[in-house]
Amino acid sequence: MRSIEELEAISRQLRIRSLRMIAKANSGHPGGSLSSAELVAALYFGVLNYRVGDPTWAARDRFVLSKGHCVPVLYAALAEAGALEDEELETLRMIDSRLQGHPDHVRLPYMEAATGSLGQGLSVAVGMALAERLDTENDYRTYCLLGDGELQAGQVWEAAMSGGKFGLGKLTAIVDYNKVQLDGYVRNIMDLEPLPDKFTSFGWHTQEVDGHDLRAILQALENGAAREDRPSMIIAHTVKGKGVSFMEDTAAWHGKAPTADELERAVAEITGTQAA
């Protein structure tokens, strides 16, 4: 188990790698990749059971990135873990790349499911958790990371209802609640509150956590897994664009690539060094 300091360092690397590949591609979604860096670091370097080089290992934990547009942070985690080469990160969004603009399960089996048509990922994760229950040979958990904007989709609540009904104790979902979506603040577009009450009433064990506090995230993941009778929902309060002052808390950086100069300033901020 890595230390909190190590996980914090990994989170910084995930941010930097995400921004570098988005800048190189000259397109992509930095805001939500930055807001979920600690969540992805906690999963891929804290709790997930997987084997580098063997993405179809039957007993691996499953991770469905429902907010598929933030896949740069997932590619970054796989590179950090040694499952992807650094050079391949530079092919993001390029023709014939395995690193499609949104996760592609067929091209890159490390992606558990294709996502990006928002609202479907939790349903897929519910299906995987149901499969685990029927699988007599393998024992694993299924994790799903959702965006906040996609919670406006009715299918998420169909999935939430079914997760509660089936008491999927081996399913953990996390909402990257960064409060900003493409067109502006979530609360102005279609408010989600009272969000914890909604999931609790759908039969989920629900926790709220600071989504940039790795210690708190790991504790919440452990608490959720301890409840075997119901699925776990972790509402992670985060900041869109976290770690880069000019990208924070704004819809402007939801889906825009940084210029070379902006990238340099961003990396300097993340590493805590002075921009040249």
Partner 1 sequence: MAKATRAAFGEALASVGETHPKVVVVDADLSCSTNTRKFADAFPDRFIQMGIAEGNMVSAAAGLALGGMVPFAASFACFITGRFEQIRVSVGYNNANVKIVGTHAGCGIGEDGYTQMGLEDLAVMRSLPNMVVVQPGDGIEAYKATEFLADYVGPAYLRLTRQALPDINDASSYSFDFGKGVELREGKDVAIVASGGVVGYALEAAENLAKEGIDAAVVNIHTIKPIDVALLQKLAASTGRILTVEDHGVVGGLGSAVLEALSETPDVVIRTHGVRGYGQSGTHAQLYDRHRLDANGIAQTTKEFVWPERAEATG
Give the shortest CB-151-to-partner 1 separation in angstroms: 14
Which three-class secondary structure string do you get for 190-255?
HCCCCHHHHHHHCCCEEEEEECCCHHHHHHHHHHHHHCCCCCEEEEEECCCCCCCHHHCCCHHHCC
Spatial distance between the Cα atoms of 165 and 63, rounded to a whole number of angstroms: 21
68 versus 241: smaller Cβ distance to partner 1: 68
8 versus 61: smaller Cβ distance to partner 1: 61
135 versus 222: smaller Cβ distance to partner 1: 135
38 versus 112: smaller Cβ distance to partner 1: 112
Give the shortest CB-81-to-partner 1 separation in angstroms: 21
Give the shortest CB-158-to-partner 1 separation in angstroms: 4
173 versus 270: smaller Cβ distance to partner 1: 173
| Residue appearing with tokens 């890159």 | 108
Give the shortest CB-166-to-partner 1 separation in angstroms: 8
Spatial distance between the Cα atoms of 232 and 134, rounded to a whole number of angstroms: 20
Instruction: Scan residues 64-123 and list those touching partner 1 (CB under 8 A).
Output: 64, 104-106, 112-117, 119-120, 123
Q: Determine which residue in the list 20, 60, 62, 67 makes contact with partner 1, applying CB under 8 A.
A: 62
Angle at 133 between CA 130 and CA 137, to 5 degrees: 130
Give the shortest CB-172-to-partner 1 separation in angstroms: 15
Spatial distance between the Cα atoms of 261 and 109, rounded to a whole number of angstroms: 34
- 271 residue type, one letter: T
Q: Determine which residue in the list 88, 90, 158, 264 makes contact with partner 1, applying CB under 8 A.
A: 158
Give the shortest CB-106-to-partner 1 separation in angstroms: 5
Pick the stretch among 126-134, 182-190, 198-206, 251-259 that binds partner 1 (CB under 8 A): 126-134
Backbone angles phi, psi at 235, to 5 degrees: -90, 105
Q: Name which of 171, 221, 165, 173 is nearest 196 in CA terms.
A: 173
124 versus 209: smaller Cβ distance to partner 1: 124
What is the signed CA dihedral for 201, 213, 114, 128, rounded to 10 degrees?
-50
Give the shortest CB-142-to-partner 1 separation in angstroms: 8
Give the shortest CB-232-to-partner 1 separation in angstroms: 17
Instruction: Scan residues 127-156 and list those touching partner 1 (CB under 8 A).
Output: 127-132, 134-135, 154-155
CB proximity list for 73: less than 8 A, separation 6 or greater: 14, 15, 18, 33, 34, 36, 37, 40
**With binding defined as CB under 8 A, does residue 125 bind partner 1?**
yes
Map residue 104 onto helix, strand or coil. coil
Beta carbons of 64 and 115 less than 8 angstroms apart: yes
Q: Which stretches of the chain bind partner 1, using CB under 8 A?
A: 58, 62, 64, 104-106, 112-117, 119-120, 123-132, 134-135, 154-155, 158-159, 161-162, 165
